[in-house]
Amino acid sequence: MALIDLVVEKIVKIPLESQDKPDTIRELVQILKDAGEIDDFDAVLKAVQDREDKQSTGLEQGIAVPHCKSDAVASLKLAIGIAKQPTNLFFLLVASPELSGPHVEALAEIAKLARSKAFCKALVHAENAKEVVDLLKGK
């Protein structure tokens, strides 16, 4: 499964409303819940928080990639959130523990994407979810 297959409008939120890290993570997990991608909100939230407690996955240029393994999902789950003030781009990735290979490859795709400053700039300036999906799919 390629990362691009996971990108649909319902897993994208612009703008994020949260002002701090714990609330942002909660809001990202809520995107998955609202999109019908997960059932057990609390289990996924705890798994993401536990990973973030070890060390933040914030990269340079205002990009963060919170991620975790969780038995609460059977496949890869992606949520994308864009905060406007300050501008920040978040990719949340949750994977089944039995899919470590595809999980690693999806994270690697996000890391490659994050290296393109111009593309990330275009993403954070997107006005809505459709624009993000179109940008990611190269339309």
Among 17, 71, 100, 125, contact with another protein (rule: CB under 8 A): 100
**With 0-12 CB in 10 A as exposed, 13-18 as middle and 19+ as buried, what is 132?**
buried
Q: Are 26 and 41 in contact (CB under 8 A)?
A: no
Cα(48)–Cα(29) distance, integer angstroms: 9
Site string for another protein, 44-83 (x = CB under 8 A): ----------xx-x-x-----x-x-x--------------
**Which of 78, 117, 113 is closest to 94 using CA atoms?**
78
Q: Minimum distance between the CB of residue 112 and another protein, rounded to whole angstroms?
A: 4
Cα(7)–Cα(17) distance, integer angstroms: 21
Tell me, by CB under 8 A, how many residues bind another protein. 34
Tokens of 9: 């409008």
Toward another protein, which CB reaches closer, 41 or 99?
99
Toward another protein, which CB reaches closer, 105 or 131?
105
- Residues forming contacts to another protein in the complex (CB under 8 A) are 1-5, 54-55, 57, 59, 65, 67, 69, 97-105, 107-114, 116, 119, 136-138
